[in-house]
Structure 1
């Protein structure tokens, strides 16, 4: 069995990746600094599900701090691979404080790559973003679409991380899989993402704050499908950038109508101006993931949304209080 280091282990995608690796008999070194970029109760909930596992070891480390990263590698060596899911995410938040996005997403990736070089780790998986494609991408978007004109510091910081991965692949022979994630949803998701927000706001009778006319759309993929695809990325590929997710598109208005039906409550929609950092749509061409990794999503949108609603209701005593603003 393998021995892997997963950063962002208490994150939405990271926690599911860790759970799946553990279920398959691997051992995992989990790194997460539990930053307060969003309500930390979600991270504590996910981490509490991991810590009982004997093959999981938690390191409360910030990947932007090189000395701390090297201590983790020294403690954990030898490693079969690193999956870097630690990130400051959020297109709007990056406009307000771009420096922390650069520190975590770009410098943090550099720290991990350099530690891989020093400790002889030959496999590196990076979580990037569909936001990197900017405003004029074709739909569905292939990996060959231009990523040279990011619209926000978040996407720019991920572009820098991708470029650093290529440099370390070229100079040091590190095998790199980069995933450009499209919109991911599911139980215990990020509360700053639209799906969690809408479920909470509709369930609790709060105003549903909708930017624009609601006809903007997103391509969604369930978190378990994303986690499976991420683990498939551990196979040798050389250096590849692969879209993952976003295979089922839905408008915000359609999502609200579906959630109203599942929750059994009408949404009180308040329309706000469209945010300039937001993309009007995203929709992934995932044919490369199918070809290289044999990846196929297994959970359809209605089934996944139902799972999210059911989880929220089961945990409602505290999820109703999670900060979503």
Structure 2
């Protein structure tokens, strides 16, 4: 099999590419290597993948939000499945540059859906987000919950991605799986996320900026668990069995939460980073930021039932692994 992976230079995308290559797949990766965060980190991830599996990995610097550029690149390649992980990420940045989210998360999603449709791929797996739950205060978050009140533009684009995917699955009987990720962390992570920001502040002796006076909880999910869930879903596309439900035929489109099924206090995470870094933090408490949510907690019963997904990594294990990698990457003793 050959798999097209978007966001291949990203945190999750590079790990997924490695996992697929490790089991003998051919991987075609694309990424636009933009400067939302340090492109050198993205290139280092790509170098890691290529070093491990240079013969099985093909990469193209492509912006999938640009339909012409995408079409030109894929014209020379064949692939059986798509794992669409590329997107403009970040809740807070969507307040600064909303156009980037329209281009990548809306136009980009349509371009990828059209590609999947015309190539008649076996399965299209794509990234959604726990942000779609908005201000939902019913915990844990269930895929059956209403998600029509997003509190950030980022969340709105991810919900739109789910709706567009449902329409393509219905109209063209295209097997699809959408995954609502919950706070993914681990080695080779993203510099805009809390664990990296906190570790960097500790390394540099700066105060940690913590919002809502630290009264927040997150479902922290370790990267290895996330990758195992993505690959399990990729291997088992939803069936198009012709059954019906209210409003028409059932489309071959599945949606899952993919998280750790544990909601941890933010300050407990801070304590584990302090311990792993060997430094005590100064805290700069700030009010809640616009677009942010107080708590996240994933109900993973559906993905556990359908794909035997069982996350195994607690933050007591995962955070020291992340900090060990972080120190090595920054050459800190």
Residue in 2 that maps onto 1:33: 32
Residue in 1 that maps onto 2:245: none
User: How far has the Cα of 1:21 moved from its partner?
Assistant: 0.2
Equivalences for 1:294-309 in 2 at 5 Å?
294-309=308-323
Q: Does 1:8 align with 2:7?
A: yes
Residue in 2 that maps onto 1:93: 93
User: How far has the Cα of 1:137 moved from its partner?
Assistant: 4.0
User: How far has the Cα of 1:136 moved from its partner?
Assistant: 2.1
Residue in 1 that maps onto 2:289: 275
Any conservation in 2 of the 1:21–1:27 contact (CA below 8 Å)?
Answer: yes
Distance (Å, rounded) in 2 between the aligned partners of 1:120 and 1:72? 17
Equivalences for 1:126-141 in 2 at 5 Å?
126-141=126-141
Q: TM-score, normalised by structure 1?
A: 0.94
Describe the superposition over 1:46-100 as per-residue Cα deviations: whole angstroms up to 9, x where unpaired: 11111232100001000101112122332212x2110100000111111122121
Describe the superposition over 1:202-222 as per-residue Cα deviations: whole angstroms up to 9, x where unpaired: 133111111121121111010
3-state DSSP class of the match of 1:282?
coil
Residue in 2 that maps onto 1:81: 81
Tell me how many residue pairs correspond in the alignment. 317
**Structure 1 unaligned residues grouped into runs of 5+:** 321-325
Residue in 2 that maps onto 1:323: none
Bigger mean CA deviation after superposition, 175-184 or 263-272: 263-272
Distance (Å, rounded) in 1 between the aligned partners of 2:266 and 2:164? 35
Q: TM-score, normalised by structure 2?
A: 0.92
Distance (Å, rounded) in 2 between the aligned partners of 1:263 and 1:280? 26
Distance (Å, rounded) in 2 between the aligned partners of 1:70 and 1:200? 39
Q: Which of structure 1's runs of 4+ aligned residues deviate more than 4 A? A: none
**Structure 2 unaligned residues grouped into runs of 5+:** 239-251
Distance (Å, rounded) in 2 between the aligned partners of 1:231 and 1:9? 15
Distance (Å, rounded) in 1 between the aligned partners of 2:207 and 2:87? 29
Bigger mean CA deviation after superposition, 246-255 or 121-130: 246-255
Residue in 1 that maps onto 2:244: none
Residue in 2 that maps onto 1:62: 63
